[in-house]
Amino acid sequence: MAHIRTELPGPKARALIARDAAVTTPSYPRDYPFVMSHGRGTEVWDVDGNRFLDFEAGIAVCATGHAHPAVVAAVKAAADDFLHISSDFWHERMTALAERLVRLAPLGEPALAFLCQSGTEAVEGALKLARYVTRRPRFIGFLGAFHGRTMGSLAFTSSKYTQQLGFAPTMPGVTHVPYPNPYRPLFAGADQGKAVLDYMRLLFERSVPPSEVAAIVVEPIQGEGGYLVPPEGFLAGLRALADEHGILLVFDEVQCGAGRTGRMFACEHWGVHPDIVTLAKGLGSGVPIGAVIAKRRLMEQWKRGAHGNTFGGNPLACAAAIATLDLVEREYAALAAKNGAYFKERLQTLARRFPCIGEVRGKGLMIGMELIVPGPERAPAKALCDALVTRAFHNGLLLLSCGTSTVRFMPPLNVSVAEIDEALALLERSLGEALQGSHA
């Protein structure tokens, strides 16, 4: 099917980008000139009438696809009632969402929820709660992590140093350790998860007093750092290490949560309970919302006024999140598991024909395809990855990268098999073109 009917960017897109450049910060990391007009499900159209398949879903946000009728209806109904009252007061949608979140939370014991507006705000809430209840100053984070761009979460973010450059000092007290990556082992031995845990034990003996560590903050599947799935036993090992030292375990599920991996929370794949979990992105299908969910015995220690916000529990955001969770719980998490398995298998088949595809990994509809320069060193093929994302755009497929040279696939959870097949055809064409370009 013809997707693209103008040059890209088309004339209307070009005009808007020029207008925007005069008034908008240049700091947004915009990879290619897509100017949205509207979207339905996995399909989006730009202002020049070109149609694209959206396999990045607004950076893993549009969990139920663009403009899902049930989500739109819920937001419209909420807007008809009122737009805002603030978290200083009560309303039914806010309580209903908190009830839903504490019921779903993978904490293994009673929980409480704090609502906010974004991933970074959720992470800040988790950090503040961990500090508050432990009265400890230090934290452990992971290289390759992304937790946000405010001064607390930024102290952990380390997927690219551009996010850090020029902003020091961020929140003090964070020590980074490697995230286990069996495809690119840093340590000797087959079990990279165990090696990282051993490294952390050494760190605790030699440099970081564990009695001063409030929390270990980790993505159960590392997102921006390359869609890395931890080895079996790693998250359980972190849980045990944390328990040994009275350290809290924070799972940042901002990207991997809300059904993305085929389970409501990614950590459910390993049956490991954190003390605190963060959500955002997919939770509101595009309406900004974040959440911190913590064990009740921790969050109930917060005194009145210890933490709060203006927009937390916004009725439009709560309505969108409740409608999203209805769909994800009833149907879409299971769909993500089923269609994600199909998609991953098709990508693995493609990998057998293209030696530049080093590894295909992921769970559900959180799938990474790492591109390499073929050979024993598996050198990351960054230029090829960038070229592929650009060629895909020109062929009508929206993608984003992560890590050094990994293309990530994070379509809406209700993407159809026909759309996956269509995307695979566009991907293969784009990869062929990118490879040709890289040899030219």
Ligand X SMILES: Cc1ncc(COP(=O)(O)O)c(C=O)c1O
Q: CB of 147: closest distance to ligand X in angstroms? A: 5
**Closer residue to ligand X in complex, CB, 123/197:** 123
Spell out the residues 6+ positions from residue 291 whose beta carbon is closer than 8 angstroms to its own: 101, 113, 114, 115, 116, 122, 278, 279, 280, 283
**Closer residue to ligand X in complex, CB, 147/346:** 147
- Interface residue with ligand X among 106, 141, 180, 223 (CB under 6 A) is 223
Q: CB of 181: closest distance to ligand X in angstroms? A: 17
- Interface residue with ligand X among 50, 120, 405, 414 (CB under 6 A) is 120
Q: Does 410 bind ligand X (CB under 6 A)?
A: no
Q: CB of 247: closest distance to ligand X in angstroms? A: 20
Q: CB of 252: closest distance to ligand X in angstroms? A: 5
Q: CB of 159: closest distance to ligand X in angstroms? A: 9
**Closer residue to ligand X in complex, CB, 281/391:** 281
Closest CA to 434 of 344, 362, 371, 376: 371
Q: Does 66 bind ligand X (CB under 6 A)?
A: no
Q: Does 274 bind ligand X (CB under 6 A)?
A: no
**Closer residue to ligand X in complex, CB, 396/412:** 412
Using CB under 6 A as the binding criterion, the count of chain residues that bind ligand X stands at 14
- Listed ranges 76-84, 113-121, 191-199, 326-334: which one lies at the site for ligand X (CB under 6 A): 113-121
Closest CA to 290 of 328, 340, 263, 255: 255
Q: CB of 386: closest distance to ligand X in angstroms? A: 19
Report the C-alpha gap between 21 and 330 in whole angstroms.
Answer: 43
| CA atoms 95, 97, 100, 103: torsion sign | negative
- Listed ranges 19-27, 119-127, 306-314, 340-348: which one lies at the site for ligand X (CB under 6 A): 119-127
Q: CB of 123: closest distance to ligand X in angstroms? A: 5
- Listed ranges 86-94, 181-189, 248-256, 406-414: which one lies at the site for ligand X (CB under 6 A): 248-256
Are 301 and 127 a contacting pair, CB within 8 Å?
no
- HSE-CB at 234 with a 13 A cutoff on CA atoms is 27
Q: CB of 153: closest distance to ligand X in angstroms? A: 6
Q: Which three-class secondary structure state does DSSP give residue 328?
A: helix
- Interface residue with ligand X among 119, 220, 274, 312 (CB under 6 A) is 119
Q: CB of 176: closest distance to ligand X in angstroms? A: 15
Spell out the residues 6+ positions from residue 36 whose beta carbon is closer than 8 angstroms to its own: 44, 45, 46, 47
Report the C-alpha gap between 360 and 346 in whole angstroms.
Answer: 10
**Closer residue to ligand X in complex, CB, 264/372:** 264
Residue whose Cβ sits closest to ligand X: 119
Q: Does 266 bind ligand X (CB under 6 A)?
A: no
Torsion (CA) 270, 226, 155, 264 in degrees, nearest 10:
-40
Spell out the residues 6+ positions from residue 257 whose beta carbon is closer than 8 angstroms to its own: 264, 265, 266, 277, 278, 279, 281, 282, 283
Q: Does 255 bind ligand X (CB under 6 A)?
A: yes
- 137-166: which residues touch ligand X (CB under 6 A)? 146-148
Q: Does 224 bind ligand X (CB under 6 A)?
A: yes
Are 156 and 147 a contacting pair, CB within 8 Å?
yes
Spell out the residues 6+ positions from residue 256 whose beta carbon is closer than 8 angstroms to its own: 219, 220, 221, 223, 265, 266, 366
Q: Does 392 bind ligand X (CB under 6 A)?
A: no
- 190-219: which residues touch ligand X (CB under 6 A)? 219
Spell out the residues 6+ positions from residue 394 whose beta carbon is closer than 8 angstroms to its own: 4, 8, 430
Residues composing the chain: 440
Strand partners for 425 = none
Q: Does 254 bind ligand X (CB under 6 A)?
A: yes
- Listed ranges 112-120, 164-172, 327-335, 399-407: which one lies at the site for ligand X (CB under 6 A): 112-120
Question: For the purposes of burial, counting CB atoms within 10 Å of the CB of 14, is it exposed (0-12), middle (13-18) or buried (19 or more)?
Answer: middle
Q: Does 118 bind ligand X (CB under 6 A)?
A: yes
Q: Does 252 bind ligand X (CB under 6 A)?
A: yes
- 279-338: which residues touch ligand X (CB under 6 A)? 280
Concatenating the DSSP letter of every residue in 90-131 gives --HHHHHHHHHHHHH-TTSS-EEEEEESSHHHHHHHHHHHHH
Tell me the two tokens of residue 346: 């098709």
Q: Which chain residues interact with ligand X by CB under 6 A?
A: 118-120, 123, 146-148, 219, 223-224, 252, 254-255, 280
